[in-house]
Chains A and B, each alone.
Chain A
Amino acid sequence: MNTLLFFQNLVNPDVNVPIVLPEFIIAIAGIIVMVYDSFKPAKQRITGAVSIIGLILATVATFWLWATPGNPASAFNGMMVTDNLRLSFTVVFLLVSILTILISSVWVENEKVPAGEYHALLLFATVGMMFMASGNDMVIIFLGLETLSIATYVMAGLRKNDLRSNESAMKYFILGSYASAFLLYGMALVYGATGSTNITEIAAVLSSGESAFPTLFLVGGAMLLIGFGFKVATVPFHIWTPDVYEGAPTPITGFMAAGPKAAGFASFLRIFAIGFPLVATVQASALLHESWITALTMMAILTMTIGNIAAIVQNNVKRMLAYSSIAHAGYALVGFIGAGVATTVTGRDEAIAAVAFYMLTYAVTNLGAFAVVTLLAQKNDRRTEFEDYNGIGFKSPVLAFTLSLFMLSLLGLPLTAGFIGKVLVFRPALEAGSAMLTFLVIVAVVNTAISAYYYLRLIVVMFFKERTTDWIAPKIPTALGAVILLTVLGVFYFGLFGNSTIKSFTKSPATTKPATTQNAQLK
């Protein structure tokens, strides 16, 4: 081959370091933690501190990307983007990881978990989540998802001498790999239909109606729905959730319910709401849009109803929270559908910001609840049944009152974060004005009422049931106290002043023109 010709045909890699700075910092922090741990193993305080410093630096970098004008809107040939979807979800992931490290400090100490490896895994899982939100290319999204999933499979099984933890890791691994296969197949079919893995280009092909194979689009879209539906735990792909959440160590359960679910929603939104837009003039696009909106509406209704009804009959607090997390995925789907049916770009961005804000409020509330559950569960998660909570209300008022607050926020009581989150995700669907979506919102509100039963049940159990056995209130360690304080403040802050947060989530970063157009000219 002609060497000169070969060099002329090379594509510019379009490297831009600032745009991947948050991901880069976390990956470096993960490697530092790992290398440090290999020389001085099991120093929980130091590896934990390094991880938290890395996460805080990455948060600073994220806000810097948001506020500073002049960064390109996309780099690496359009594979990475900077928009409000990416940045707002990234903030959620970083917060979840910081809180998880603090919550798990008790558990790492009590059960002699290999701290360095655990912190490294958590950081790499965070990198995966961030790439899922920032990737504008299905290749990046899939790699991010796999990085996240493999780290989570291992973390679910970290309690190696507990059969339930083994079961949890095994189930999650096998079913998760199966779902990844569906996702990958869907991506391959969409690639086959459009000839591109880039989401912007997929949207362009769909809008122009150039795609020769609309059937491939439909089948590929369905496969993607199954894969993402599994990752965010929606009915009917939710069967794994209760077992995995119950068996995994409690801090990891909190992480799984908050972080990976939000990451799943980030790339789910990116592919469906942005990649498969409605262009009424093109028949294939209209058909695809209508199909996925209808399918998601069905899934949302089923998810909310089945999640809430199944949660009522649970006797284990972790299983109850697992079903509650399924129901919350259903509420978030309502906002997702709102983003899908939005007719303007501003409307779509507002609905996306609403979903991100919902995941933020859910993460704060849920991690707070799991912090209390971790402390009450004691070693090896022995005390997680409802009857273990009998009558502890006045013996340990701090824990009981904060847990009650988190339950009320999950329920969506006004003045708490959960209320504002629910209002914001229901609004775009209601504003769309179609009968199907109005029905969807009505189902969601009825479900909120149903969910009062099991959230209030825990409060009743704590305060009004008699305890037959002796119980000594556990001492609250500093790290866990910090988490409880932060999450309680968060619940009130987002509940009272949520507007300022949602406004900044809606704000798009000031970016220069995408570099891709320039690159295309080069080719």
Chain B
Amino acid sequence: MATALFFIFAGFAIACAISCVYHKNPLYSAISLIGVFIALACVYLTLAAPFIAVVQILVYAGAIMVLVVFVIMLLNLEEESPLNRLRYLYGIGGALGLVLLAQTFFIFYAVTKNQDKNLKPDDSVGQTLNIGAAMYTEYLLPVEIVGILLLMAIIGAMIMSRRLRRAKLELVVDNKEE
């Protein structure tokens, strides 16, 4: 049953990924990407990780994809003809793909070779309750540091995006100009 579900969702994810790369219109690609995320979330569910599944849908399929779609709409991208001068990138992309494939096989090989029979994945590891408990007990300090980090990221974004106080924009392009 679990195997059948895995193949259904994995197949859906791969199909969506191919469609994401195939479409020339960025909007279709973005929507295909949502399909990939949802399929992955379903795979996480079958792996007893409901928290990651929900976060995947909330953060990636929800927040991030909305941002992507907004950017596509705002930038008003036109359909571009393929750039010939970027041809060489196909080769690099293919090579990187091969490296990733090799890595996958290596991990598969390493895991099957060194199978640790004593490893018993705890059923409750992926549950929200346990993640919350770990965050506020064992990982209390990192959570506090993340608080500082996010606060500072907000201030930084505000400073960078705020309008200049002086209305006149004097661009300093050349340091020799007076």
Contacts and interface: CB of A to CB of B under 8 A. Distances in A.
A124 B148 contact: yes
Contacts of B142: 79, 137, 139-140, 143
Interface residues of B, number: 38
B141 A76 contact: yes
B83 interface: no
Interface in B81-139: 110, 114, 116, 124, 129, 133-134, 136-139
Interface stretch (B2-10, B46-54, B164-172): B164-172
Contacts of B151: 31, 124
Interface in A136-163: 137, 139-140, 143-144, 146-147, 150-151, 153-154, 157-158, 160-163
**Which of B124, B146, B152 has the most chain A CB atoms inside 10 A of its CB?**
B152
A252 interface: no
A385 B174 CA distance: 12
Given A1-B124, A143-B146, A384-B175, A117 B155 contact: yes
B172 A121 contact: no
A120 interface: yes
A518 interface: no
Nearest to B134: A11
A147 B145 contact: yes
A164 interface: yes
Contacts of B137: 10-13
A121 B175 CA distance: 27
The SS class assigned to the A binding surface is: helix
A143 B169 contact: no
A76 B171 contact: no
B74 interface: no
Interface in B150-178: 151-153, 155-156, 158-160, 164-166, 169-173, 175-178
**Which of B133, B142, B170, B176 has the most chain A CB atoms inside 10 A of its CB?**
B142
A104 B159 CA distance: 17
Contacts of A140: 141-142, 145
A475 B139 CA distance: 52
Nearest to A388: B175
A414 to B, nearest CB: 36
B160 to A, nearest CB: 6
Contacts of A381: 175
B145 A144 contact: yes
Contacts of A161: 164, 166, 169-172
Nearest to A216: B110
B14 interface: no
B149 interface: yes
A213 interface: yes
A308 interface: no
Interface of B: 110, 114, 116, 124, 129, 133-134, 136-142, 145-146, 148-149, 151-153, 155-156, 158-160, 164-166, 169-173, 175-178
6 contacts: A30-B148, A80-B141, A117-B159, A161-B164, A212-B114, A381-B175
Interface of A: 1, 6, 10-13, 15, 20, 27, 30-31, 34, 76-77, 79-80, 112, 114, 117, 120-121, 124, 127-128, 131, 137, 139-140, 143-144, 146-147, 150-151, 153-154, 157-158, 160-164, 169, 212-213, 215, 380-385
Nearest 5 interchain pairs by C-beta: A154-B156, A11-B138, A124-B152, A143-B145, A13-B140
